[in-house]
C-alpha cells in the first residue's frame, strides 16, 4: 500500500503550522472534530498509541447573542433546561438522534443503504423524517431566539441555504454529536491526527511518497487498485481518458462534469496577546463559537453565500483552541481560527467583516491582535486542489446531489474502471475529518480485488 501526496508534508485538510508568529500553532483547515472522535473507522485504530490525544473543552459549543450566550453542553437535559420555554421541544427534537447516535453514525453515514434490523430501521426512519426538512422548518418548532439560533449555527455547517431541504439534518447531527461524543480538539493541532494515521499506516508496512503531484494516471506505477482522494473535476483530468475506455462510462463522465461545487470559504488566523474578551464570559468555556446572532441573521448570511452574494454580516465559525491546549501559543498568548462562507471563488477580502462580527460579541477584541493570516478561496484551492473555489465541503450537499455523490451508482466509490476508485469528500458521507470516505472506498476496492479486479492511494 502506497500513499502519494502532492505536497511536501502530509495532512491535506488536517495540517497545522505557524501561520502568524513563531510559537503560534494554527490549524490551517480542520480544527474541531466531533466526526473524528465519533468515526467508526478511527475508533478501530490505535491512534492514541501514535500520539493522538483528544482534549474535551468543558462546553462543546457557545453561540453568543447580543444579550448573552446559548450553550451546547455535553448533557442533553442541561442544555434543554437552559433553553427555558423550549426545553421540552429541544429534548423531543434532539433526544432521538442522541439515543440513536450509533445508528446514525454506523448505518446512515456512508453509501446510501436501508438498515434491516427493526430497531435500526425505526430509528433511521424517525431521523430521516426530520433530517430531510429544512433547518428553518425544524426551527419553527422553537419559541425562543436562543434555541433557534443554536440550531441555525449547527445547520450552517451544511453550506447550503437554511431554507433548503436537508439543511435540518446537519443541524440535528451537529447538535446530537455534541451530546454523544463532544466537540474535541486534538492536543497539538489537527496535524496530530494526520501524523497518527501516517504512523499507523507505516507500522502496517505502508509507505508514503511526498511531493509528487499526479497529473495523469499514466504517471502511476501499475497497481490492482488506485484510490483517488480528489475532486470529480480532478478525476476527469487525471483519469478521464482511461475511464472513457470502459463500457457505460459516458453517463458516469457526464455526471462528473455536471457535479456542482458549494460556496467557498474565507479564513482568518490570528495571534492574540490574551484570550478573546467575550462580553459573556461563559463563551470562554467552549473551543468552538458560532458568531452570527439570530436565526434570521444566519439564514440571510448563508443565503447570500449560496446565491453568489457577499454576506455583509457573515456567519463566522470560530475556534479558540489555545484556551484548552497550551501547546498552541506562548504562555498567556492565544490563537484564533475563524472562517465564513462566501460565494464559490469570491475574491472579496472578508477580514474586516469577520473582525466586526467577533468585536460585536467581544468589545476590545481588536486591541489584542498581534498578527493576522488570511486564506482566500483561491488560496485554499492553491493549498489543496480539492478545495475548488474555496469549497471545503467536497461539493454541494443539497438534496439534488447529497445522495448521489459523485454520481448515481449503487457503489458510489467505484468507477467504470474496476481498478479505479474515488475516496474523497465528494463521496459519502462527505466532508469532515473522519476517514469514512476512504474506509468505505477501501472496502469497495477490496471487494473488487477479491472479485479479481497492491493499492495505490493519493491522499
Ligand X SMILES: Cc1cc2nc3c(=O)[nH]c(=O)nc-3n(C[C@H](O)[C@H](O)[C@H](O)COP(=O)(O)OP(=O)(O)OC[C@H]3O[C@@H](n4cnc5c(N)ncnc54)[C@H](O)[C@@H]3O)c2cc1C
3-class state of residue 394 by DSSP: coil
**Contact (Cβ atoms closer than 8 angstroms) between residue 292 and residue 329:** no
Specify the residue, 164 or 229, whose C-beta has the smaller distance to ligand X.
229
3-class state of residue 94 by DSSP: helix
Specify the residue, 7 or 282, whose C-beta has the smaller distance to ligand X.
7
Phi, psi angles (nearest 5°) of residue 92: -65, -35
Minimal distance, residue 187 CB to ligand X, in Å? 15
Look at the chain and count its residues. Answer: 459
Minimal distance, residue 290 CB to ligand X, in Å? 12
Specify the residue, 386 or 401, whose C-beta has the smaller distance to ligand X.
386
Minimal distance, residue 195 CB to ligand X, in Å? 13
Mutual orientation of helices 145-155 and 295-306 as an angle, nearest 10°?
A: 20
Specify the residue, 253 or 265, whose C-beta has the smaller distance to ligand X.
265
Type and span of the H or E element at 3:
strand 2-4
Type and span of the H or E element at 65:
strand 59-65
Instruction: Give, as one character, the DSSP assignment of residue 346.
Output: -
Specify the residue, 142 or 324, whose C-beta has the smaller distance to ligand X.
324
Minimal distance, residue 384 CB to ligand X, in Å? 5
Minimal distance, residue 426 CB to ligand X, in Å? 9
Specify the residue, 213 or 366, whose C-beta has the smaller distance to ligand X.
213
Q: What is the CA radius of gyration of the chain?
A: 21
For the chain, the maximum distance between any two Cα atoms, rounded to a whole number of angstroms, is 64
Measured CA to CA, the distance from residue 72 to residue 63 in angstroms comes to: 8
**Contact (Cβ atoms closer than 8 angstroms) between residue 146 and residue 65:** yes
Footprint of ligand X (CB under 6 A): 4-7, 12-14, 29-33, 35-36, 213-214, 229-230, 234, 265, 267, 339, 380, 384-387, 392, 424-425, 431-433, 437, 458-459
Q: Please give the grid coordinates belonging to residue 443.
A: 472496502
**Contact (Cβ atoms closer than 8 angstroms) between residue 410 and residue 428:** no
Measured CA to CA, the distance from residue 187 to residue 68 in angstroms comes to: 29
Minimal distance, residue 122 CB to ligand X, in Å? 29
Specify the residue, 12 or 120, whose C-beta has the smaller distance to ligand X.
12
How does 70-79 read in b/e, with b if 16+ C-beta sit within 10 Å? bbbbbebeeb
Measured CA to CA, the distance from residue 101 to residue 99 in angstroms comes to: 6
Instruction: Give, as one character, the DSSP assignment of residue 341.
Output: E
Specify the residue, 120 or 242, whose C-beta has the smaller distance to ligand X.
242
Minimal distance, residue 118 CB to ligand X, in Å? 32
Minimal distance, residue 206 CB to ligand X, in Å? 15
Minimal distance, residue 302 CB to ligand X, in Å? 16
Specify the residue, 5 or 325, whose C-beta has the smaller distance to ligand X.
5
Amino acid at each position: 500500500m502506497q500513499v502519494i501526496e502532492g505536497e511536501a508534508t502530509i495532512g491535506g485538510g488536517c495540517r497545522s503550522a505557524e501561520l502568524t508568529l513563531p510559537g503560534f500553532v494554527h490549524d490551517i483547515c480542520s480544527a474541531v472534530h466531533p466526526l473524528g472522535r465519533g468515526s467508526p473507522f478511527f475508533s478501530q485504530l490505535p491512534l492514541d498509541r501514535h500520539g493522538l490525544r483528544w482534549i474535551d473543552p468543558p462546553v462543546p459549543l457557545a453561540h453568543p447573542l447580543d444579550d448573552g450566550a446559548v450553550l451546547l453542553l455535553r448533557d442533553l437535559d442541561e442544555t434543554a433546561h437552559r433553553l427555558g420555554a423550549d426545553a421540552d421541544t429541544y429534548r423531543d427534537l434532539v433526544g432521538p438522534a442522541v439515543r440513536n447516535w450509533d445508528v446514525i453514525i454506523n448505518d446512515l453515514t456512508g453509501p446510501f443503504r436501508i438498515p434491516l434490523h427493526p430497531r435500526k430501521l425505526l430509528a433511521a426512519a424517525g431521523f430521516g423524517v426530520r433530517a430531510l426538512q429544512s433547518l428553518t422548518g425544524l426551527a419553527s418548532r422553537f419559541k425562543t431566539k436562543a434555541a433557534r439560533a443554536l440550531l441555525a449555527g449547527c445547520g450552517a455547517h451544511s453550506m447550503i441555504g437554511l431554507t433548503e431541504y436537508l439543511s435540518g439534518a446537519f443541524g440535528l447531527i451537529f447538535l446530537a454529536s455534541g451530546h454523544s461524543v463532544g466537540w474535541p480538539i486534538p492536543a497539538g493541532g489537527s496535524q496530530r491526527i494526520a501524523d497518527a494515521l501516517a504512523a499507523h499506516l507505516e507500522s502496517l508496512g505502508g509507505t508514503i511518497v511526498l511531493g509528487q503531484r499526479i497529473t495523469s494516471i499514466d504517471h502511476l506505477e501499475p497497481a490492482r487498485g488506485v484510490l483517488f482522494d480528489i475532486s470529480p473535476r480532478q478525476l476527469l483530468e487525471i483519469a478521464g481518458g482511461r475511464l472513457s475506455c470502459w463500457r457505460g462510462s459516458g453517463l458516469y463522465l457526464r455526471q462528473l462534469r455536471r457535479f456542482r461545487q458549494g460556496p467557498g470559504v474565507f479564513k482568518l488566523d490570528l495571534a492574540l496577546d490574551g484570550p478573546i474578551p467575550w462580553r459573556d464570559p461563559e463563551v470562554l468555556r467552549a473551543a468552538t463559537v458560532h458568531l452570527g446572532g439570530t436565526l434570521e441573521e444566519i439564514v440571510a448570511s448563508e443565503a447570500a453565500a449560496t446565491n453568489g452574494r457577499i454576506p455583509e454580516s457573515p456567519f463566522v465559525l470560530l475556534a479558540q483552541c489555545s484556551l484548552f491546549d497550551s501547546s498552541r501559543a506562548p504562555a498567556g498568548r492565544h490563537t484564533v481560527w475563524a472562517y465564513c462562507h462566501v460565494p464559490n471563488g469570491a475574491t472579496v477580502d472578508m477580514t474586516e467583516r469577520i473582525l466586526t462580527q467577533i468585536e460585536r460579541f467581544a468589545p476590545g477584541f481588536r486591541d489584542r491582535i498581534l498578527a493576522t493570516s488570511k486564506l482566500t478561496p483561491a488560496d485554499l484551492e492553491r493549498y489543496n486542489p480539492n478545495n475548488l473555489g474555496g469549497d471545503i465541503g467536497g461539493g454541494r450537499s443539497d438534496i439534488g446531489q447529497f445522495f448521489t455523490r459523485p454520481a448515481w451508482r449503487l457503489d458510489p466509490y467505484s468507477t467504470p474502471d474496476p481498478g479505479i476508485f474515488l475516496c474523497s469528500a465528494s463521496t459519502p458521507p462527505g466532508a469532515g475529518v473522519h476517514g469514512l470516505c476512504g474506509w468505505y472506498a477501501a472496502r469497495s476496492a477490496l471487494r473488487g480485488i477479491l472479485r479479481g479486479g497492491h493499492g495505490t492511494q493519493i491522499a
